[in-house]
Amino acid sequence: MKISVIGCGYLGAVHAAAMASLGHEVVGVDVDADKVAALTSGRPPFFEPGLSELLVKGQELGSLEFTTDVSRVADSQIHFVCVGTPQKPGEFAADVTYVDAAVDSLVPHLTSTSVVVGKSTVPVGTAERLAVALVPTGAALMWNPEFLREGHAVEDTLHPNRLVYGVADGEAGEQATAGLDEVYATMLDEQTPRMVTDFATAELVKTAANSFLATKISFINAMAELCEASGADVTQLADAIGIDDRIGRKFLNAGLGFGGGCLPKDIRAFMARAGELGADQAVAFLKEIDSINMRRRVRMVDIARDTLDGSFIGKKITVLGAAFKPNSDDVRDSPALAVARLIATQGGVVTVTDPQAIDNAAMTFPELNYVADTSQALADADAVLLLTEWQEYRDLDPVATASLVAGKVLIDGRNVLTPEVWRSAGWTYRALGRP
């Protein structure tokens, strides 16, 4: 099928490349000429395993094009809206102006056989509003939320664990469903569960899923606070409760908490939207989820200061990890960088290292010191903080690492190292939620 993808960020670039690899003819549109040039030459403007290969494959097949010229979408039957919905500055609400602008830019190119498919995460009610704007074109609208995780985006896009189609009643909904079934034929052949809902339910599925994930993480981090107060071990607690498959072990990793461009802003946007709908009490608990998450960052700084006899002044601190999670170069609301900055403001001499995210981190917080090489970053450190659990840091050898640093102090912000191994090599090992 002929497809357009409006917005070529983490979501859109992966979606465009993945759809081309399935045999569709895809044109990706973005306002950023540099991003378009990079994608055209097969270089993803961000780190995402497997994406480069898909981009190159799409170019070789001649089925993938990137452009800043929105009129190139004129031949497409299906138009995916994949632009961002960031948190509004100074507010909890999501900024949907990019979604509105994307739909406006499509309008002159739509016909009565076109289908516009929203994938962006939007406040409930957005699709209903946009459907009204599309009425004069005769095009059908669908909301098809995306559940991909950064770092696994290619796999999640090609083999999603479910498909949700939010559609209007009647013929428009049938037209949209038939169109998207054709696009996703290979996934449907793989028996991927597909649910057809109304617009509001589809929009809420996405927000509810991310809110649940955030709640699960903050729940275990609240237990970590209790473990710290009582001398218990949160990793054992998580293993033990996670065996119950009604609870499940996934997303029960206690530590520095969640960050990134999705979970934090989505729970806040949900609270704002619920307030507008007069249902604020229903999600008031998300405020506590947010607070628990933010407290972990402060607690991390407190533990680090404590291990350094109560002061960071003049101490050299090495922070392992800048990305909000491993296998990503995304530093949006990165817990690791938040901790690094807090320590720097308290007089610590902070060096940050990361396998992929240093350039993005340096653009966001130029005041910190960045070193790409892990050994160089560790040199002469008074304390080492593991804040993003890249495999490289999980694999660090306590004996070899000890020969690099000035002080054998390690604080494991992600609970991924084995305390006994580090302690027996002479390290002071501290972690969140563990004795």
Give catalytic residues, as residue numbers. Answer: 262
In the chain, % helix, strand, coil (3-state, to 5) comes to 50, 15, 40
By CB under 6 A, is residue 146 in contact with ligand UGA?
yes
Under the binding rule (CB under 6 A), the answer on residue 9 touching ligand UGA is no
416 touching ligand UGA, by CB under 6 A: no
Tokens of 113: 């056989």
Closest-CA residue to 376 (of 320, 414, 423): 320
Q: Which residues contact 10 (CB under 8 A, 6 or more apart)?
A: 46, 48, 150, 153, 261, 330
The answer to the question of residue 252 lying near ligand UGA (CB under 6 A) is yes
Cβ nearer to ligand UGA, comparing 224 with 343: 224
Beta-strand pair 194-197/316-320: unpaired
With CB under 6 A as the contact rule, the residue among 2, 88, 129, 149 that binds ligand UGA is 149
Binding ligand UGA by CB under 6 A: which of 251, 275, 294, 416? Answer: 251
324 binds ligand UGA (CB under 6 A): yes
Least CB distance to ligand UGA at residue 216 (A): 7
DSSP for 88-106, please give it: PTTSSSB--HHHHHHHHHH
Residue whose CB is less far from ligand UGA, 138 or 248: 248
Q: Which two tokens stand for residue 418?
A: 């084995």
Our CB check for ligand UGA shows the closer of 67 and 415 to be 415
How many residues contact ligand UGA, by CB under 6 A? 21
Provide, rounded to whole angstroms, the least separation between the CB of residue 209 and ligand UGA.
6
Q: Which residue in 67, 210, 235, 415 binds ligand UGA (CB under 6 A)?
A: 210
Q: What is the Rg, in whole angstroms, of the alpha carbon atoms belonging to the chain?
A: 23
HSE of 376 in the Cβ direction (CA atoms, 13 Å)?
9
CA atoms of 71 and 133, how far apart (whole Å) = 19
- Binding track over 99-138 against ligand UGA, x by CB under 6 A: ----------------------x-----------------
253 belongs to the binding site for ligand UGA (CB under 6 A): yes
In a 13 Å sphere around the CA of 290, the CA atoms on its Cβ side amount to: 17
Q: What one-character DSSP code corresponds to residue 107?
A: G
CB closer to ligand UGA, 24 vs 414: 414
Q: Would you tell me which residues interact with ligand UGA (CB under 6 A)? A: 121, 146-150, 210, 213, 217, 251-253, 255, 257-260, 262-263, 324-325
